[in-house]
């Protein structure tokens, strides 16, 4: 059974197929409105979320299915000491597909090992967030018309930022992407990303400390929040939290067709004065998250031999899993 735990669980051809399906859903929503009639999504969120949980739930509702689940560990039997494995095993008796977020790295992978239905990692600690990556890729594809040949600046908390780690892993498989890593030295991207992704694959990258020194080079800037919840002490968080604030002044040297992305939530790393600039893509990005999660769930359910309520021409648009690059 196919799950989605790490962005590299999907080949480039599988990613392209999910993005193309999402684009078809955007163009032809009504045709998909009963695709998951009788199907259930369980959202197991042991950590807070607005976008990921609600976009998964909206996605299943817009496919005609139902949702069940919990939005914090406090309202589940985890508080009584139940293990992640037992929780997932039990919920897989009640639902056709599971989306799971957990503060511990590897928890969704463990869940997938015992589940009888597909498990989707909706964020595990500071590790991975593959459905945010699909959201980011769909946004780049819609904004730029391509997933290759650009320079992307990743700015902020590159150490704990799971969205950044997943996006680097996915984008590094496309042609001619240049990465500029903008962070204070305390929040540099982990060493395994440098050695296992950039150096191993001969991918061009550089590390800088300010966004001003590279702004004019960027086709995309991907801003991230300094995440209070990942710090071990408050003093470090307070010292680093306002390192980067993108405002209209800093955009003076930016390209006219720069795309500004942010997985959200934002605290103050993008000034609200930027929101009305046409280059600000982050709210469109949040909307794309729902469509790409619709496409992902259809793909995993079809792969798991679930009967989908779709006409033949739409069923044919759902790609097979296990496709080679
Ligand atoms: N982007 C993202 O994961 O947001 P939430 O934490 O609100 O789900």
Q: What is the pLDDT of residues 169-180, one digit of tens each?
A: 999 999 999 999
Residue 146 known to be catalytic? no
Tokens representing residue 116 in the block: 């009888």
Establish if 323 belongs to a structural domain.
no
Tokens representing residue 199 in the block: 């150096």
Could you tell me if 165 and 243 lie in one domain? yes
Q: Output Rg (C-alpha) for the chain, integer angstroms.
A: 19
Q: Which of 39, 43, 52, 225 is catalytic?
A: 52
Could you tell me if 102 and 172 lie in one domain? no
Establish if 324 belongs to a structural domain.
no
Number of domains in the chain: 2
Could you tell me if 138 and 260 lie in one domain? yes
Residue 162 known to be catalytic? no
Q: Tell me the average pLDDT of the chain.
A: 95
Helices (H), 152-281: 162-171, 191-193, 234-240
Calculate the alpha carbon distances from 1 to 115, 119, 147, 208, 301 in Å: 10, 9, 28, 42, 10
Strand partners, 68: 42
| Residue 122 DSSP SS3 | strand
Could you tell me if 233 and 298 lie in one domain? no
Could you tell me if 168 and 62 lie in one domain? no
pLDDT value at residue 325: 57
Could you tell me if 244 and 311 lie in one domain? no
293 Cα: distance to centroid of ligand 1 (angstroms): 13
Establish if 321 belongs to a structural domain.
no
pLDDT value at residue 323: 53
Could you tell me if 241 and 296 lie in one domain? no
Q: How far apart are CA 132 and CA 147, in angstroms?
A: 16
pLDDT value at residue 240: 79
Nearest CA to ligand 1 atom 5: 49
Could you tell me if 142 and 70 lie in one domain? no
Establish if 28 belongs to a structural domain.
yes
307 Cα: distance to centroid of ligand 1 (angstroms): 30
Establish if 179 belongs to a structural domain.
yes
Could you tell me if 226 and 295 lie in one domain? no
Could you tell me if 72 and 166 lie in one domain? no
CATH number of the domain within which 227 lies: 3.40.50.1370
Residue 129 known to be catalytic? yes
- Contact of 163 with 289, CB cutoff 8 Å: no
Beta strands in the chain (DSSP E): 40-45, 66-70, 97-102, 119-124, 150-155, 177-182, 205-208, 220-223, 259-261
Residues of the chain with pLDDT under 70: 323-325
Q: Give the residue numbers spanning the domain of 79.
A: 7-128+289-315
Could you tell me if 217 and 300 lie in one domain? no
Nearest 5 degrees, angle CA 137-CA 59-CA 268? 55
- Contact of 228 with 265, CB cutoff 8 Å: no
Establish if 24 belongs to a structural domain.
yes
Q: Which of 3, 39, 51, 159 is catalytic?
A: 51
Establish if 96 belongs to a structural domain.
yes
The residue whose CB lies within 8 Å of the most ligand 1 atoms, and thus the one to mutate among 47, 51, 227, is 51
Establish if 158 belongs to a structural domain.
yes
Could you tell me if 115 and 138 lie in one domain? no
Q: Which of 129, 169, 241, 262 is catalytic?
A: 129
Q: How far apart are CA 10 and CA 13, in angstroms?
A: 8
């Amino acid at each position: 059974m196919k799950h989605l735990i790490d962005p590299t669980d999907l080949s480039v051809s599988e990613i392209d197929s999910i993005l193309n399906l999402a684009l078809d859903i955007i163009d032809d929503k009504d045709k998909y409105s009963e695709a998951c009639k009788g199907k259930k999504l369980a959202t197991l969120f042991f950590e807070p979320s607005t976008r990921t949980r609600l976009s998964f739930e909206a996605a299943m509702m817009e496919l005609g299915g139902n949702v069940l689940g919990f939005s914090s560990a406090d309202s589940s039997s985890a508080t009584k000491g139940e293990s992640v494995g037992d929780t997932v095993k039990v919920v897989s008796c009640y639902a056709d597909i599971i989306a799971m977020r957990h503060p511990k790295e590897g928890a969704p992978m463990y869940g997938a090992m015992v589940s009888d239905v597909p498990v989707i990692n909706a964020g595990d600690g500071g590790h991975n967030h593959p459905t945010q990556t699909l959201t980011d890729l769909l946004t780049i594809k819609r904004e730029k018309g391509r997933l290759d040949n650009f320079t992307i600046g990743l700015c902020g908390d590159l150490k704990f930022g799971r969205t950044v780690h997943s996006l680097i892993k996915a984008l590094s498989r496309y042609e001619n992407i240049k990465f500029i890593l903008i962070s204070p030295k305390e929040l540099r991207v982990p060493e395994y990303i440098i050695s296992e992704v950039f150096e191993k694959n001969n991918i061009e990258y550089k590390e800088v400390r300010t966004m001003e020194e590279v702004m004019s080079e960027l086709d995309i800037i991907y801003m991230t929040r300094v995440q209070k919840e990942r710090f071990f002490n408050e003093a470090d968080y307070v010292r680093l939290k306002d390192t980067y604030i993108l405002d209209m002044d800093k955009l003076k040297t930016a390209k006219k067709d720069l795309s500004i992305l942010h997985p959200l939530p934002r605290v103050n790393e993008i000034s609200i004065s930027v929101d009305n600039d046409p280059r600000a893509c982050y709210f469109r990005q949040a909307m794309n998250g729902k469509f790409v999660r619709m496409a992902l769930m259809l793909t995993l359910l079809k792969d798991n031999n679930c009967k989908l309520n779709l006409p033949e021409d739409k069923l044919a648009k759902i790609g097979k899993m296990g496709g080679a690059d």
